[in-house]
Structure 1
Amino acid sequence: MLRPQFRVRRIGQRYDCAEVDAFVDRVLATAERRSVGPEMTADDVRAVAFSTPFLGPGYSVEEVDHFLAEAERWLPSGTAPDTAVAGGGTATAGGPVAGGQQAPQFSTVRLQEGYAMDEVDEFVDRLLATVNGQPVARPVTADEVRNVQFRPVRFSEGYDVMEVDAFLDTAQAWLRDGMR
């Protein structure tokens, strides 16, 4: 399946490019059956909310909304209860994983230091696949969790540092103690 190309706008109604890109990647991974994390559902698509960039470019709201309406038709329906790491906020890897650990939701920050959302999302997807016994090319180890470093962001949207670090502490214990 081809990745959609959205027009970039500098003014007017627009969505944060990084948030949209991360979400579209997850939708396409589910549709193509190559997802390493929790699969997306039509309910996830209906519930998503993207922020508007304070300054700078963003994707055309109309084009993204049109893609999301189409995606609802090819994804399975099904509602999963929300789970969150302290503070709640925007979704990363989604909701619960069947029979395993749940994907966190991290608050987003702007104008203070946060972690690069795409890096955190990718690592969390691999981590959850490892912990939940799903196939993954590079399983995550407790040492990798302890030593992982994400790119800090300051002027663009990122995940709350304290929430991500707290989740990593919990995940390290899952791996160290062999919890599944």
Structure 2
Amino acid sequence: MLRPEFAVKRFGERYDRAEVDALIDKLLATVNRTTTPSVTVEDLRSAAFRTPLLGPGYSAQEVDDFLTDAEQWMPDRPAVRPMPTGQHREGPLFTPVRIREGYSFEDVDEFVERVMATVNGEPVKRPVTVRELRKVRFTPVRLSEGYDVEEVDNWLDQAERWLTGED
């Protein structure tokens, strides 16, 4: 695995470069098996970095995306248990809302499609990871139809249990 290069930003969402570099060094050593595994999948999922008060930092989005992708290279990554032959988890049906705030149909539908392909063991270009599931944010909509926020959020909790093998 090659060392990633992240964009350096002076403003906006950014992470302390030294903290990110330290985790990446441990991650590379773990993945390349040059040391006893010192970074776990849970370490990647729970990684938190300070935002520099002044000065540049790494793009938070790029670092988060990299850590999500890095889970697949980890020796201790949990495998999503494939569904037994003949069984298939069905996607959710959310209630559309109009007057109160909802989530964008398009955002939710695209993400749900990837989650369902992942949990059902179907081919998907970019399988959903638990880290991505925990960080997903949908576009809120007002004055137009969207999905019920509470229903979608409850389903995300269920999907996390599927991905972690707790259900």
TM bin, normalised by shorter chain, reads 0.3 to 0.5
Question: How does the TM-score come out when normalised to structure 2?
Answer: 0.47
User: Larger Cα Rg: Structure 1 or Structure 2?
Assistant: 2
What TM-score do the two structures reach when normalised by structure 1? Answer: 0.44
